[in-house]
Amino acid sequence: MVKAEFGWRIPSFPVDGSSTSKFIDQINAFIKEVEGRLDSAWISDHFHPWAKFQSVDTDVLEAWTTLSYLAGVYRKLKFGNIVLCNSYRNPALLAKMASTLQALTNGRLILGIGAGWKEDEYLAYGYEFPSAKVRIRQLEEAVQIIKKLWTEDPVNFDGAFYKVKNAYCNPKPDPIPPIMIGGGGEKLTLRVVARFADWWNLPNVTVAEYERKIRILERHCKIVGRDPKEIRKTWSGLIAIAEEEEEALKIAKESPFLSGQSLDAHLIGTPETIIERIRQYLHIGVDYFILRFLDFPEVKGLKTFCTKVLHKI
């Protein structure tokens, strides 16, 4: 069985009515507990909070700015986005941004990227919102450009959506960051994962659903001549952990993030329950877990996880 690693998903907006300054203090207090215990920290890429959870004028931290700042402060952690929306940043510029951050952090970046999905944010910030098929094709071109700029000089690319002419990206990232592609679309997204991803992230799914998607990914890999074992499988989801099952369920049910979702697609329960669930994911080949602790800003759940689960996996 593969060895598991774990990261913390940083909230990008408060759910308890905190001011921006208090929310940032909460993040810093929590991440100090994470550093030295978990492997990484991650933040999503949104301009607005999820409307069903918070009012649209709730303060939201921008993804790349937050990531860059925290990576400079907390030097024992790797950092990534879960995941960047490809449409929001020109891929050549993103390659340059990433190579610079990789140099500044001494190689602690994981580049998470996806095709994008949140139409209201696209339109609010002046981006066109093409069909899912087009967005995935754009992602496919973008990843190729990023990989070329990290490894070649000069770079030329003449695609349907992006064009690059005699572009240089120096310093080259060392080491080259893994590119983690997020999503589970079976016909298009997983084909892109099969061709270009170093890591793959599938969020909020049960063990059975993840395993079914792996089989589909394997078929895409066979078509493109790729060994699926080359692609690191990652899972992201919610965690509510407590010594008693009832307490864990109470934390989960009081959280706005779990609204309308199946408990089976997340980690809810006692340390023993969580250990068993993680082992089930490990058994199918998932070895990296990105966790949103539902009792944030409290650190009790994190401490319980680290003392009662982390070293038993």
Q: Is the pLDDT of residue 86 over 90?
A: yes
Confidence of residue 53 (pLDDT cuts 50, 70, 90): low
Domain boundary assignment for the chain:
5-312
Question: What pTM, to 2 d.p., does this model score?
Answer: 0.97
Instruction: Kindly state the tokens that stand for 44.
Output: 């999503």
Q: 106-124: per-residue pLDDT in tens?
A: 999 999 999 999 999 999 9
CATH code of domain 5-312: 3.20.20.30
Q: 127-183: per-residue pLDDT in tens?
A: 999 999 999 999 999 999 999 999 999 999 999 999 999 999 999 999 999 999 999
